[in-house]
């Protein structure tokens, strides 16, 4: 009886929770890590056929970094706690839930490696092999291969080895290096905030420009000031600089020529920051809003052939509808 009572009682719900948590955080960490590597490859090996903007890549980098900081930390802590349990309760290491999850991981990583190799060969036969593609394919093989090799070795052993400690240290250093590199690419949170201000300013100037052209088409003259564009019916109010709270600078330079000015925090170059071909999307990015740091003025000349004055009867019909 004494021997039976001395055997520690199994805590199955705890074991299931911890093993599931460590596997899920492993998968999540691996996906976030590969996503970061891919975005670095996109940045340093750009493809002219890639129509995604740099902001899309930056948003993926920011999300992946956030996931790695939290999820990978949870993975390391839970793995450390499980190893403590293994040393204290050896039967937990031999539990079926652990072995099932490990073999599931081996199965998934095997499929990933096989699928990646098939894709590489298929792409090679199609003549589309590039450095960009090769690096992305290798990143998947390396990450999946490391996970496969570690857990294949682990499931064969009856007792924990120092390999787990080395694995934790090496992966932590790699993840930390990738996170630091990501901060160098996307900049600090303050830098991101300044860029958001600049993007909002460009959006405001684009909207104001459209209203000025519309004003000229209706009245065949430019507004004297931006407040002339205010319309209680449509609800338009001339926007102000979100960073300073001041009105944007507006000057007329002739009957058809005007300029809009704003103060920007950073340099923006459309060709360097956006790979979408001009004309593909009718947005602010298809226009020339390149700017340097500091006060920048955008000069515009209204082309009567492109923006002819609206006929009086059309204006009257619109006014009635509104």
Q: What pLDDT, on a 0 to 100 scale, did the predictor assign at position 274?
A: 43
For residue 8, the enclosing domain spans: 2-187
Show which of 187, 211, 239 is a domain's final residue.
187
* In the predicted structure, residue 271 carries a pLDDT above the cut 70: no
Task: Point out the domain boundary residue: 139, 166, 187.
Answer: 187
* Greater model confidence, 4 or 308: 308
By the 8 A CB rule, do 265 and 293 touch?
yes
Which of 225, 201, 210 has its CA nearest to residue 289? 201
pLDDT at 207 over 50: yes
**More confidently predicted of 281 and 70:** 70
Q: How far apart are CA 180 and CA 173, in angstroms?
A: 11
- Measured N-to-C along each axis, helices 73-88 and 163-186 cross at an angle, to the nearest 10 degrees, of 170
For the stretch 87-117, pLDDT in tens is 888 888 888 888 899 999 999 999 999 988 8
Both 180 and 77 in one domain: the answer is yes
How many Cβ atoms sit within 10 Å of the Cβ of residue 196? 13
CA distance 104 to 98: 10
Are 171 and 212 in a shared domain? no
Which of 242, 223, 182 has the alpha carbon at shortest distance from 61? Answer: 182
Q: Which of 139, 170, 187 is the last residue of a domain?
A: 187
Domain shared by 172 and 199, yes or no:
no
Owner of token pair 């001041």: 246
Rg of the chain, C-alpha, whole Å:
30
pLDDT at 136 over 90: no
201 and 281 within one domain? yes
Q: Measured between alpha carbons, how far is 24 from 256 in angstroms, rounded to an integer?
A: 62
In a shared domain, residues 172 and 275: no
**Helix, strand, coil: what percent of the chain each, to 5?**
65, 10, 25
**178 pLDDT more than 50:** yes
Residues 74 and 170 occupy one common structural domain: yes
| Pick from 70-84, 212-226, 240-254, 268-282: least confident | 268-282
CA dist 38 and 207 (Å) reads: 35
Statement: residue 280 has pLDDT above 50: no
Is 155 in the same domain as 18?
yes
Single pTM value for the model: 0.66
* Same domain flag for 40 and 125: yes
Residues 280-292 have a mean pLDDT of: 60
163 and 279 inside one domain? no
Do 120 and 197 fall within a single domain? Answer: no
Two structure tokens written together for 93: 């290491």
Query: Percent of the chain, pLDDT > 90?
Result: 42
- As a whole-number percent, the residues of the chain with pLDDT over 70 amount to 83
Count of domains in the chain? 2
- pLDDT for res 189: 77
């Amino acid at each position: 009886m004494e021997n039976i009572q001395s055997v520690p009682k199994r805590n199955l719900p705890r074991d299931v929770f911890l093993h599931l948590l460590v596997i899920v955080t492993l998968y999540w960490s691996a996906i976030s890590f590969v996503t970061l590597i891919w975005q670095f490859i996109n940045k340093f090996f750009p493809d002219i056929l890639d129509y995604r903007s740099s902001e899309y890549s930056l948003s993926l980098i920011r999300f992946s970094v956030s996931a790695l900081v939290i999820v990978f930390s949870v993975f390391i802590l839970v793995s450390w706690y499980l190893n403590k349990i293994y040393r204290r309760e050896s039967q937990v290491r031999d539990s079926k839930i652990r072995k099932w999850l490990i073999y599931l991981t081996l199965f998934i990583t095997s499929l990933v490696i096989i699928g990646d190799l098939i894709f590489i060969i298929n792409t090679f036969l199609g003549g589309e092999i590039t450095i960009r593609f090769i690096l992305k394919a290798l990143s998947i093989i390396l990450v999946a291969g490391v996970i496969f090799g570690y857990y294949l070795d682990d499931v064969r052993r009856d007792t924990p080895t120092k390999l787990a400690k080395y694995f934790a240290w090496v992966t932590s250093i790699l993840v930390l290096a990738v996170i630091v590199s990501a901060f160098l690419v996307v900049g600090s949170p303050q830098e991101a905030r300044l860029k958001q201000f600049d993007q909002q300013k460009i959006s405001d100037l684009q909207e104001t420009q459209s209203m000025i052209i519309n004003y000229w088409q209706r009245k065949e003259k430019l507004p004297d000031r931006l407040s002339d564009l205010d319309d209680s019916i449509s609800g338009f109010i001339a926007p102000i600089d979100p960073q300073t709270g001041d009105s944007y600078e507006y000057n007329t330079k002739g009957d058809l020529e005007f300029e809009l000015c704003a103060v920007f925090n950073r340099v923006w170059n459309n060709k360097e920051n956006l790979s979408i071909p001009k004309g593909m999307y009718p947005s602010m990015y298809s226009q020339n809003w390149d700017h340097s740091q500091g006060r920048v003025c955008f000069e515009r000349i209204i082309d009567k052939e492109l923006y002819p004055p609206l006929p009086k009867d059309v204006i009257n019909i619109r006014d009635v509808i509104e």
